[in-house]
Amino acid sequence: GEGLPRPEQTRVMVVANQKGGVGKTTTTVNLAASLALHGGRVLVIDLDPQGNASTALGIDHHAEVPSIYDVLVDSKPLSDVVQPVPDVEGLFCAPATIDLAGAEIELVSLVARESRLERAIQAYEQPLDYILIDCPPSLGLLTVNALVAGAEVLIPIQCEYYALEGLGQLLRNVDLVRGHLNPKLHVSTILLTMYDGRTRLASQVADEVRSHFGGEVLRTSIPRSVRISEAPSYGQTVLTYDPASSGALSYLEAAREIALRGVNVQYDGQHAHALP
């Protein structure tokens, strides 16, 4: 790999935004693949009952497959459900099956219902540089489990009308979880997705997000790209589907920026890439 600096401890990043269709899953899988291609060991935890992240990574997640449901509800060890992602060395996935749709209710009556994912991650012994958790489009117990398990929240924001709408609710939940359950939790990263620099709207939204959040917003944004949207139907990330595309390069660049921030190295802007 290109050998980006690796974090001293596993960075657990929660990819959340209760709005659907803003690029959570796309960002989770492509950033994870990018971090792995840069030389990291990366685990994607699919916490959305739709299982879109599992599909996009080419991971079998039919109903009988051991999954994150078994981890959360039946206390199965995470190591029993993690699968290696084909074609990307260093990338792993804990898949979601449709069972997970029931977990939101089943968790309610379980002990330590908010911290079951955190416990499972703590008991996982494989060395990892990053864990990326793909959240469902809601703020229920599944997302709360992710917020308790992670230290960093990564919010993808689609450069569209109403981009900031509903974010207040997510930020209040982050504050609540920080105050009661997880003092280390913070919004570390905002990523602008589906950015179309030719439209005034996109640049206005980007300006608004940058003035609202400032330093958390990555300088790299992700362009709207047909290649990005096609890749999941081949069970691939854009990094293997079309490694030279603007979408692939932008996720590699975002991964680089995130990795440098993690070791407090100043990001020096756009970088000409060759895939490792």
Encoded one letter per residue, x for contact with ligand ADP by CB under 6 A and - for no contact, window 205-244 reads: -----------------x-xx--xx---------------
- Least distance to Mg ion, CB of residue 25, Å: 3
Question: Which CB, 41 or 133, lies closer to ligand ADP?
Answer: 133
173 binds ligand ADP (CB under 6 A): no
- Least distance to ligand ADP, CB of residue 4, Å: 22
Alpha carbon 212 to chain centroid, angstroms: 22
49 binds ligand ADP (CB under 6 A): no
- Least distance to Mg ion, CB of residue 209, Å: 20
86 binds ligand ADP (CB under 6 A): no
**Burial zone of 252 (CB within 10 Å; 0-12 exposed, 13-18 middle, 19+ buried):** buried
248 DSSP 8-state letter = H
Binders of Mg ion in range 33-62 (CB under 5 A): 52
Alpha carbon 100 to chain centroid, angstroms: 18
Q: Which of 18, 25, 97, 240 binds ligand ADP (CB under 6 A)?
A: 25
| Residue/partner pairs of 168-171 with CB below 8 Å, 24 or more apart | 169/18, 169/139, 170/16, 170/17, 170/18, 170/139
Q: Which of 18, 23, 206, 245 binds ligand ADP (CB under 6 A)?
A: 23
Residues 196 and 222: their CA atoms lie apart, in Å, by 9
24 binds Mg ion (CB under 5 A): yes
195 DSSP 8-state letter = B
User: How many residues bind to ligand ADP according to rule CB under 6 A?
Assistant: 17
Q: Which of 25, 143, 236, 245 binds Mg ion (CB under 5 A)?
A: 25
One-character DSSP codes across 199-235: SHHHHHHHHHHHHHHGGGB-S--PBP-HHHHHGGGGT
Q: Which stretch binds ligand ADP (CB under 6 A): 24-32, 57-65, 96-104, 265-273?
A: 24-32
User: How many residues bind to Mg ion according to rule CB under 5 A?
Assistant: 3
193 binds ligand ADP (CB under 6 A): yes
Amino acid type, 249: L
28 binds Mg ion (CB under 5 A): no
- What is the rounded (10 degree) CA torsion for 94, 98, 102, 107? 0
**Burial zone of 69 (CB within 10 Å; 0-12 exposed, 13-18 middle, 19+ buried):** buried
**Cβ-proximal residues to 68 (8 Å cutoff; 6+ apart), any chain:** 45, 46, 47, 81, 94, 95, 96, 100, 117
Query: Which of Mg ion, ligand ADP, none lies near 143, with the C-beta cut-off 5 to 8 A by kind?
Result: none
26 binds ligand ADP (CB under 6 A): yes
Question: Which CB, 52 or 188, lies closer to Mg ion?
Answer: 52
5 DSSP 8-state letter = P
Positions that interact with Mg ion (CB under 5 A): 24-25, 52
Residues that bind ligand ADP (CB under 6 A): 20-26, 52, 137, 193-194, 222, 224-225, 228-229, 247
